Amino acid sequence: MVHPLVVRITHWINAFAVLVLVLSGWRIYNAAPLFPFRIPSELTLGGWLAGALQWHFAAMWILGLNGLAYVIYGLVSGHFRRKLLPISPRAVLHDVLEAFRGRLSHDDLSVYNTAQRAAYLALIVALVLLVLSGLAIWKPVQLQELTALMGGYEGARIVHFVCMSIVVLVVIVHVVMVALVPRTLPAMITGKVR
């Protein structure tokens, strides 16, 4: 078994939630851009601000609850420790360079190389920070301590945007890698290597 059932289920639910949240989030961003650019409307979800907000505030529950289940499972079952550790900056750098030379081995899909470990850890941390900064933006009065921790309301918007960018970047690399090593895709569906 390459991927346990819990990981496969939460992976696909997470993929759906992140897709909806990113596309609707871009529409929300366009209503008051933080930076001097807009996202092309064709890439966004919701059609107008209210629609985008409806998608965003519906999908946030899916992301949050699914993510909570995944993190609890990862910690309690030892999945995180087994799959994501050990990790060192030197090993990450080594594997990233190897990946660019096309020399990274994927013989055993159940073992993540350190470049993968770093990417998945970054994704988990970025998603946790996205949820926290999202809560800080959504509830800057009720959760004002959290908002203060994020550098205030405007600070939380920046954290939210930066973490979104990290997630999008990791997902793009992730999807490219799946395209380069296609047998990883059925493994995330059936759990086995064909």
Q: Residues interacting with another protein, by CB under 8 A?
A: 16, 19-20, 23, 28-29, 31-32, 34, 41, 44-51, 53-55, 57-58, 61, 139-142, 144, 148, 153-154, 157
To another protein, the closest distance from the beta carbon of 2 in angstroms equals 23
Dihedral, CA of residue 184, residue 189, residue 191 and residue 193, to nearest 10: -40
Smallest distance from the beta carbon of 138 to another protein, in angstroms?
A: 8
Tokens 């979104």 — which residue?
164
Is the Cβ of residue 96 or residue 152 nearer to another protein in the bound state? 152
**What is the distance between the alpha carbons of residues 113 and 170, in angstroms, rounded to a whole number?**
15
Residue 108 Cβ vs another protein, minimum distance, rounded to whole Å = 30
**Number of helical (H) and strand (E) elements in the chain, helices listed first:** 8, 0
Residue 118 Cβ vs another protein, minimum distance, rounded to whole Å:
29
Q: Which is nearer to another protein, 34 or 75 (CB)?
A: 34
Query: Phi first, then psi: what are they for 32, rounded to 5°?
Result: -155, 75
Q: How far apart are CA 4 and CA 70, in angstroms?
A: 11
Q: Which is nearer to another protein, 51 or 191 (CB)?
A: 51
